[in-house]
């Protein structure tokens, strides 16, 4: 099955330098990123095809280009494109390509985006040097295991996709509820974490469902998690509370550990940060 794409072009909207010179032969690079601006690879939710993270096109003698990009709303997780023009005559920025039958024009794509900060630009530069460097060793191994060739189309199983997105199993030290933060204890078992210094340093993710003591808990350490009973305030951080609970109330004692950021009332993008001890 051919990869679903949408045309993005700047026909009639050529690129110029700040001094007004036409940008001929400039490289325009589109790098797939998560919501934090970190380069990633992902999969098409409908076809299971692997989406490679970087696409580059060169402007012609008219300062124009045409490129086919994968629509971000077809993914298994939230993504966007980081766009960089080299030579660096224009600010790097981020934008998204929605599904559509007609070509997407450059100015709407650019004006709907936001400027990249220096940290994101540095990560993008590293990604352009090595398009798998941003993945962890475990994620690279999962990606290799997930991707098999059927003709020219990569195919992955649901379990493989879970491994790439940060999913794994661990024996439960006690009966655990779903969607709770867990740590790995001294015996290597999964148990509820609290916002203490010792626990915060051992957090491994959130349970995806309930499990009895001694059973295999499925744990998600990154990416999008959905739970209909949640009622988050979008864009406000979610912290680790006591006994594995999640809260949007900033802790006033123990440790502040951001678990992720809600994209909606029922969707949490898991992105576990470095714990900060409160004095």
pLDDT in tens, 178-192: 999 999 888 889 999
**Any domain includes 160:** no
Runs of H (alpha helix) within the chain? 106-111, 118-129, 137-146, 158-164, 197-200
Q: Which residues pair with 260 in a beta bridge?
A: 238, 270
Nearest to 180 by CA among 83, 110, 251, 270: 270
Among candidate residues 111, 128, 155, the one where a domain is terminated: 155
Both 49 and 151 in a single domain? yes
Q: Containing domain of residue 43, as a range?
A: 6-155
Among candidate residues 155, 189, 217, the one where a domain is terminated: 155
Q: How confident is the model at residue 211 (pLDDT cuts 50, 70, 90)?
A: very high
Q: How confident is the model at residue 216 (pLDDT cuts 50, 70, 90)?
A: very high
Residue 172 belongs to what H/E stretch? none
Distances (CA, A) of 175 to 22, 137, 171, 211: 65, 31, 10, 6
Q: What is the pLDDT of residue 111?
A: 67
Supply 260's token pair: 């992720």
Q: What is the mean pLDDT of residues 193-209?
A: 90
Q: What is the mean pLDDT of residues 13-37?
A: 84
Q: How many domains does the chain have?
A: 2
Q: What is the pLDDT of residue 92?
A: 74
Q: Quick: pLDDT tens for 139-177.
A: 444 444 444 333 333 333 333 434 444 568 889 999 999
Both 83 and 197 in a single domain? no
Of 66-70, 107-111, 259-263, the range with the lowest mean pLDDT is 107-111
pTM of the model: 0.45
Distances (CA, A) of 89 to 17, 24, 170, 199: 5, 12, 50, 47
Share above pLDDT 70 across residues of the chain, in percent, rounded to a whole number: 76
Both 106 and 172 in a single domain? no
Task: Kindly tell me if the per-residue pLDDT of 199 is higher than 50.
Answer: yes
Q: What is the pLDDT of residue 93?
A: 81
Both 18 and 119 in a single domain? yes
What is the chain's mean pLDDT, rounded? 78
Q: Cα 55 vs. chain centroid, distance in angstroms?
A: 17
Among candidate residues 96, 130, 155, the one where a domain is terminated: 155
Q: What is the mean pLDDT of residues 205-232?
A: 92
Both 139 and 108 in a single domain? yes
Both 175 and 133 in a single domain? no
Task: Kindly tell me if the per-residue pLDDT of 227 is higher than 50.
Answer: yes
Both 24 and 151 in a single domain? yes
């Amino acid at each position: 099955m051919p990869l679903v794409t949408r045309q993005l072009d700047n026909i009639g909207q050529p690129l110029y330098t700040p001094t007004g010179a036409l940008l001929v032969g400039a490289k325009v690079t589109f790098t797939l990123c998560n919501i934090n601006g970190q380069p990633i690879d992902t999969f098409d939710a409908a076809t299971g095809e692997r989406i490679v993270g970087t696409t580059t096109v060169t402007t012609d003698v008219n300062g124009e280009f045409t490129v086919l990009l994968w629509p971000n709303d077809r993914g298994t997780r939230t993504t966007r494109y980081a766009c960089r023009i080299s030579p660096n005559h224009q600010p790097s920025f981020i934008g998204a390509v929605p599904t559509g039958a007609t070509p997407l024009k450059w100015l709407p794509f650019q004006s709907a985006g936001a400027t990249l900060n220096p940290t994101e630009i540095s990560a993008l530069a590293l990604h352009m040097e090595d398009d798998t460097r941003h993945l962890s060793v475990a994620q690279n191994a999962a990606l290799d295991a997930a991707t098999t060739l059927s003709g020219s189309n990569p195919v992955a199983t649901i379990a493989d996709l879970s491994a790439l997105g940060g999913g794994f199993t661990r024996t439960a030290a006690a009966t655990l509820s779903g969607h709770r933060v867990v740590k790995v204890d001294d015996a290597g078992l999964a148990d509820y974490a609290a916002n203490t210094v010792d626990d915060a340093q051992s957090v491994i993710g959130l349970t995806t469902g309930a499990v009895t003591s001694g059973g295999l808990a499925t744990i998600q350490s990154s990416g999008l998690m959905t739970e209909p009973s949640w009622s988050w305030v979008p864009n406000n951080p979610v912290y680790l509370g006591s006994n594995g609970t999640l809260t949007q109330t900033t802790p006033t004692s123990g440790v502040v550990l951001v678990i992720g950021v809600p994209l909606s009332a029922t969707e949490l993008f898991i992105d576990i940060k470095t714990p900060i001890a409160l004095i």
